[in-house]
C-alpha cells in the first residue's frame, strides 16, 4: 500500500513550494487547504510529476471540520510517511488592536490544528517507512516579538513542541522545525519586507529556496533549519541574548518601520482597489 505525505496550507506560497518540491522528489501527496483550489492543484501536481496526489478542502481552524477530515482519512485506511504543517495565520500590529475573533482564530489554526493533525497522522503512519514531520515555525519563534506577540508565541510553542517530539519519536521518525524569516508570499508580507528596508531585503528568502533547503534538512534528519546565512546568524545571536533585549530591539524596529511605511500602504491599497 502506498503511503503519503500530508501537507496542510498546500495552496499558499510556501505550501505550494513544498508541495512542488516533494512531488519533484517522488513523494505521493495528500493536500489540504481551506481553498477549493486544492483539488485542482493536486490534479496538476499528479500530472506534472507523475506522482499520486489528492486534494481535500478543509477549514483546519474548525474542530468539527478537522474531525470530519481525519475521520475520512481513517475510514479510507490511508497511511502516511510524513506530515508538513504549513497552515497558519499571521497578524501584525498592536495586540490591543486585534479583535477577539482574530486572536482566537490564530490560536485555533497555529496551535490547535497543528497539534491535532500531528497526533492523528502520527497514529496513521506507515510502519514500514521512516516518518518525517516538518513544522513551519518562524524566526519569530526565537524571541518575543512586540506587535506580533500572539503569532510569535504560537511559533515558539511549535518550536518547543518540535524539539520535544523529535526526542519522543526518534525510534520511528524525525522532526524538523523550519524557521524562516520574511517570504514574499502575500501583499501583507511584502509590505512588512519593504517596510524594513535593508534588513527586510537581506533576510528575505524565496519560497522555492526555502522548500528545497527544508526538504534537504528533513531528509538528513536535522532538527532546525533556518534558510539564509544572515538569518542563521540572527537565529544564533538571538538565542544568546536576554529576551528583554531582543524584545526591545524588535519593538524599536517595528515602530521605526511604521514611520516609513505609509507610502507603501497607500500603494497596496490602490492595487487592491483595482
| Predicted pLDDT of residue 202 | 54
Rounded to whole angstroms, the Cα distance separating 89 from 111 reads: 10
Measure Cα distances from 124 to 24, 28, 74, 207 in Å: 24, 15, 8, 29
CA torsion sign for 220, 144, 113, 53 is negative
Domains of the chain by range and CATH?
3-186+204-228 (3.40.50.720)
3-state SS, residue 83? strand
Grid cell of 178 as nine digits: 523550519
Give the pTM: 0.86
pLDDT band at 201 (very low <50, low <70, confident <90, very high): very low
Count of other CB atoms within 10 angstroms of residue 126:
17
3-state SS, residue 195? helix
Task: Dump pLDDT digits (tens) for 9-62.
Answer: 999 999 999 999 999 999 999 999 999 999 999 999 999 999 999 999 999 999
Rounded to whole angstroms, the Cα distance separating 147 from 119 reads: 31
pLDDT band at 8 (very low <50, low <70, confident <90, very high): very high
Grid cell of 224 as nine digits: 532546525
The angle formed by the CA atoms of residues 34, 35 and 41, to the nearest 5 degrees, is 120
In percent, the amount of the chain with pLDDT more than 90 equals 69
Amino acid at each position: 500500500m502506498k503511503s503519503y505525505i500530508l501537507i496542510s496550507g498546500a495552496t499558499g506560497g510556501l505550501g505550494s513550494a513544498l508541495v512542488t518540491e516533494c512531488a519533484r522528489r517522488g513523494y505521493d501527496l495528500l493536500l489540504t487547504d481551506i481553498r477549493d483550489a486544492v483539488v485542482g492543484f493536486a490534479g496538476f501536481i499528479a500530472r506534472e510529476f507523475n506522482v499520486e496526489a489528492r486534494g481535500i478542502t478543509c477549514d483546519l481552524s474548525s474542530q468539527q471540520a478537522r474531525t470530519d477530515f481525519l475521520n475520512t482519512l481513517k475510514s479510507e485506511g490511508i497511511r502516511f510517511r510524513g506530515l508538513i504543517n504549513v497552515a497558519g495565520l499571521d497578524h501584525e500590529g498592536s495586540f490591543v488592536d486585534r479583535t477577539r475573533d482574530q486572536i482566537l482564530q490564530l490560536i485555533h489554526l497555529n496551535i490547535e490544528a497543528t497539534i491535532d493533525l500531528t497526533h492523528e497522522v502520527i497514529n496513521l503512519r506507515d510502519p514500514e517507512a521512516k516518518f518525517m514531520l516538518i513544522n513551519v515555525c518562524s524566526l519569530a519563534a526565537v524571541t518575543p516579538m512586540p506587535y506580533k506577540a500572539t503569532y510569535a508565541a504560537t511559533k515558539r510553542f511549535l518550536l518547543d513542541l518540535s524539539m520535544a517530539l523529535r526526542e519522543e519519536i526518534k525510534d520511528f521518525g524525525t522532526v524538523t522545525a523550519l524557521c524562516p524569516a520574511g517570504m514574499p508570499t502575500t501583499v501583507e508580507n511584502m509590505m512588512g519586507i519593504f517596510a524594513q528596508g535593508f534588513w527586510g531585503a537581506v533576510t528575505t528568502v524565496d519560497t522555492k529556496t526555502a522548500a528545497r533547503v527544508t526538504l534537504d534538512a528533513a531528509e538528513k534528519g536535522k532538527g532546525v533549519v533556518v534558510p539564509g546565512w544572515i538569518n542563521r546568524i540572527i537565529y544564533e545571536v538571538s538565542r544568546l541574548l536576554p529576551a528583554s533585549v531582543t524584545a526591545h530591539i524588535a519593538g524599536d524596529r517595528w515602530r521605526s518601520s511604521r514611520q516609513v511605511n505609509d507610502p507603501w500602504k497607500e500603494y497596496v491599497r490602490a492595487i487592491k482597489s483595482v
